[in-house]
């Protein structure tokens, strides 16, 4: 699966586009009140990515184990320090409502899903992020 994300911000306009295997979609995110940048910061989006990934993956893994998940709540918390510092104390809580399974089976499903959730695993490893190309436009 190939994914790209784009942000276009200029003069109070803020557009976000996502492309996954040539399927394009957008997310509505307002610009900051001064028009420069996004009203949602990268840390917030990172934590949302963690929560969303686990939510989606619990349904995927439950289907494989023939467990009917009826509801998922995921809360991710953590801290960011000064500019340039990575997140710390990142953790998440999960509440699952399921049927046709025992509590032990659902707990095992949660633990299994935690081991195979892609975004969590990406952050748990040293994944290089490379500045690949730059373009600068300067006007007088």
pLDDT in tens, 87-138: 999 999 999 999 989 999 999 999 999 999 999 999 999 888 899 998 988 8
Q: pLDDT tens digit string along 45-83?
A: 999 999 999 999 999 999 999 999 999 999 999 999 999
- The pLDDT score that the predictor gives to residue 12 is 84
The domain locations on the chain are 1-40, 41-125
Dihedral angle at the C-alpha atoms of 134, 135, 136, 137, nearest 10 degrees?
-170
CATH number of the domain at 41-125, out of 3.40.50.300, 3.40.50.1260, 3.40.50.12280, 3.30.300.20? 3.30.300.20
Q: How confident is the model at residue 25 (pLDDT cuts 50, 70, 90)?
A: very high
State the alpha helices, DSSP H only, in 84-133.
103-116, 118-124
What does the pLDDT read at residue 15?
Answer: 92
- CA 8 to CA 17: how far, in whole Å? 9
DSSP 99: E
- Using CB atoms within 10 Å of the CB of residue 64, give its burial: 0 to 12 exposed, 13 to 18 middle, 19+ buried: exposed
């Amino acid at each position: 699966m190939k994914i790209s994300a784009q942000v276009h911000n200029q003069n109070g306009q803020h557009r976000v586009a996502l492309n996954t295997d040539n399927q394009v979609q957008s997310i509505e995110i307002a610009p900051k009140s001064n028009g420069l940048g996004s009203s949602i910061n990268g840390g917030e989006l990172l934590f949302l990515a963690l929560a969303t990934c686990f939510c989606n993956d619990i349904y995927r893994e439950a289907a494989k184990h023939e467990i009917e998940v009826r509801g998922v709540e995921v809360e991710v918390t953590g801290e960011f320090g000064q500019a340039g510092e990575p997140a710390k104390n990142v953790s998440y809580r999960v509440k699952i409502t399921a049927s046709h399974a025992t509590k032990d089976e659902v707990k095992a499903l949660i633990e299994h899903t935690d081991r195979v959730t892609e975004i969590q695993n990406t952050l748990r490893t040293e994944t290089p992020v490379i500045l690949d190309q730059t373009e600068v436009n300067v006007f007088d």
